[in-house]
Structure 1
Amino acid sequence: MSILDRYIAREFWKGLLAAMATFLVLYLGGDTVRQGVREDIPAAYAFQFTLYQMPEVLVLLLAPACLMGTLICLSGLARRNELTAMYASGISLGRISFVVMSLVFMLCCASFVITDRVVPPLAKERAHFYRTVIQKKPDLQTDIKQNKIWYRSRNLIYNLRTFDPRSNQITGISIYTFNDRFDLIQQIEAAKADYENGKWILGNGQLTLFDDETGYPMTSHFKTQAITLNESPEDFQEIEKEVETLRLKYLWRYIQRNQAAGIDTHNFETVFWSKISMALVPLIMSLLGIPFATAHHRHSSLARDISLCFFIVLIYWLLFSAGLSLGKSGRVPPFIAAWAPNLLFFAFGIFMVMRNRRA
Structure 2
Amino acid sequence: MILKRYVLKQFLQIYLLTLGALVGMFLVIDCFERIDEFVSRSAPLSYLFFYYVYKVPFIFFFMAPQAVLLATVVTLATLARNNEFTAMKACGIGVTRITLPILSCSIVIAFFVVIINEFVAPVTSEKMNYIYYVKVRGMEEQGQLQRDNIWLRSANGAIWNISFYDPGKSLMRGASLLYYDEEELFMRRRIDAEQVLWNGKQWEFLKGSIRYFGKESLDKTEFFEKEFFPVLETPTDFQKIQKRPEELSLREMYGIIQANETEGLDTHQIWVDLHQKLSYPFVSVVLALIGIPLSIRSSRNGGILFCVAVSLSMGFVFSFLYAMGISLGHGGTFNPILATWGPCFLFVCIGLYLLLTMDSDRLLPI
Indicate the SS of the match to 1:263. Answer: coil
- Identity, % of aligned pairs? 23
| DSSP-derived class of the 1:341 partner | helix
Mapped to 1, the partners of 2:277 and 2:357 lie a distance apart of 31
Looking at structure 1, the residues matched to 294 and 220 of structure 2 have their Cα atoms a distance apart, in angstroms, of 65
Change (3 A) 1:268 1:92: same
Whole-Å Cα distance in 2 between the matches of residues 270 and 173 of structure 1? 35
What's 2:75 paired with? 73
Among 316, 319, 324, the alignment partner of 1:317 is: 319
Q: Distance in 2 between matches of 1:206 and 1:324?
A: 49
Matches within 5 A, 1:264-275: 264-275=266-277
Correspondence for 1:17:
16
Q: Does the 8 Å CA contact 1:68/1:305 hold for their aligned counterparts?
A: no
Deviations 1:261-305 (A, max 9, x none): 222222111000011110100111011111111114243322223
Corresponding letter in the other structure for 1:305: C
Residue in 2 that maps onto 1:225? none
Mind listing any 5+ residue stretches in structure 2 that lack a counterpart? 178-189, 212-217, 230-237, 362-366
Structure 1 gap ranges (5+): 162-170, 192-202, 212-216, 220-235
Structure 2 counterpart of 1:100, which letter?
I
- Picking from 331, 352, 355, the partner of 2:354 is 352
In the other structure, the counterpart of 1:196 is none
Structure 2 counterparts to residues 136-151 of structure 1, below 5 A: 136-137=138-139, 151=166
Of 349-358 and 326-335, more deviation after overlay is shown by 349-358
- Tell me, yes or no, if the aligned pair for 2:294 and 2:311 is still in contact at 8 Å: no
RMSD: 4.0
For residues 153-164 of structure 1, the aligned pairs below 5 Å read 156-157=171-172
TM-score, normalising length from structure 2?
A: 0.73
1:60-139 to structure 2, matched below 5 A, reads 60-137=62-139
Deviation at 1:160, TM superposition (A): 9.3
Write the deviation string for residues 197-253 of structure 1: whole angstroms up to 9, x where unpaired. xxxxxx999977366xxxxx599xxxxxxxxxxxxxxxx999455355211111111
Equivalent residues of 2:171, 2:197 under 8 A apart = yes
Q: Identify the residue that residue 166 of structure 1 maps to in structure 2.
A: none
* Alignment: residue pair count: 315
CA separation of 1:248 and 1:187: change in aligned 2, threshold 3 A: farther
CA offsets per residue over residues 19-52 of structure 1, 9 Å max, x none?
1122122111000111123564569344532332
Residues 294, 257 of structure 1: alpha-carbon distance in 2 compared, 3 angstrom cutoff: same
- 1:145-179 Cα offsets, whole Å, 9 max, x none, are x9999744758347899xxxxxxxxx999852479
What amino acid is the match of 2:306? R
Answer whether contact 1:101 1:287 (CA < 8 A) is retained.
yes
* SS in structure 2 of the partner of residue 264 of structure 1: coil
| Within-5 A mapping of 1:1-359 | 2-37=1-36, 40-41=40-41, 44=45, 45-137=47-139, 151-152=166-167, 156-157=171-172, 176-177=196-197, 184=204, 186=206, 209=224, 239=241, 241-243=243-245, 245-358=247-360
Deviations 1:86-128 (CA, angstroms, capped at 9, x unpaired) = 1121211001111111111111110000111111111111122
For residues 207 and 259 of structure 1, do their structure 2 counterparts lie closer, same or farther at Cα, with a shift above 3 Å needed? farther
Q: Secondary structure of the equivalent of 1:176?
A: strand
Residue 254 of structure 1 and its aligned partner are, at CA, apart by 0.5
Counterpart AA for 2:19: M
The alignment partner of 2:120 has SS state of helix
1:130, CA displacement in angstroms? 1.8
Structure 2: which amino acid aligns with 1:325?
S
Which segment drifts farther, 29-38 or 242-251? 242-251
Q: Is the 8 A contact 2:61 2:117 kept in 1?
A: yes
Q: Distance in 2 between matches of 1:341 and 1:91?
A: 32
CA-to-aligned-CA distance 1:290-328 (integer Å, 9 cap, x gap):
111111424332222332343223212211111111111
SS at match of 1:285: helix
Give, as a single letter, the amino acid of the residue that structure 2 aligns with 1:96: I
